[in-house]
Structure 1
């Protein structure tokens, strides 16, 4: 009996070491920039610049949780009125990649070494969602002609509010190591939904949204060579 228990413990320890050898659960840091597109009450879109920083941790080779911080500008016009919002946003998010649903075998290291670049790109296409906060810094000019059609003007043009980001994108890996790519080019579209219809200081029946198209680079930390 003792020999059986010892054998089972030895098998479990060896199995754990093998699993750890196959996947090192790296943390990646990323920076990027791109263009914001507002979907607000003042609906004539003006493309603006934004930048972001990401920190992501892999739970499996193809699922991750992370933190996203973003700084940028939204602006728009219409009805002889206009607005500008120099915002700051941050969120917690999770992403799942196509590779999670592909047959990549039990040994991630072996799959990573033999997979073609096409397979690696396809397996790193992802969707994700999260929750976070956004800090407004709004200035606007509302025409007297447009003002009567506005349901409400926001009292707080510099406050925080809750947002829900939805992401779709791809990580294009390069810099091969035994346990996964060291670098990746990231192409991402993030669509952020607000909960209080206040990106432009004008509150009507539908909540404001905005999109952020970005290009970035990621680097894997603690990824054993």
Structure 2
């Protein structure tokens, strides 16, 4: 088989766009997600449109046993994973610290931090055995500046940044690249999820300026993943032109 990428959270947004970008360039794809029907639809479309092999794995990255059961038991022809993109993640709620829902906090921690750790740990033995591989962690500008009512979401993305730095140091001996990509405002279902289905609030986030799109992040992942073996982008922040960081966006 040619090169293989594993993408978590591939049923929508960044994950779907990343899978499409790599498949369009001839990469075989392992795609994961919680929604079996949607995941299988995307797998079928990738196969038909790009003539690549696609392996859909249905699991929630929060579930440690499911993550390891699926990844450690991959068929041999799928074990040569060149790139893993830890994309699965979410924001829930936009509440002041004292008003926030504990369940929202736990879901963000379990997905954004623990899920990333589980998937990375499960994939690493395949990469270490080959002395090559690339881990791409999707962070956020929220890792760089804490903003009002962002509290635990910002904390989880700060953790992604710290974990990425630690992985980069510890995995040097195995010749494994690690890249953290920190997007700013990107118009996907992100805000709909954050505001728990409130379409009006979600739409308002992107009014008055042109945000990034999921394809922009996919292009960035592909660029980082296809650099020469001796080149590694460790940490990358990407925003739309109208946004300076998590705190400053020009609308007009």
Question: TM-score w.r.t. structure 2 length?
Answer: 0.21
More strand by share: 1
Larger-gyration structure (1/2): 1
Greater relative contact order: 1 or 2 (C-alpha under 8 angstroms, separation 6 or more)?
Answer: 1
Question: TM-score w.r.t. structure 1 length?
Answer: 0.23
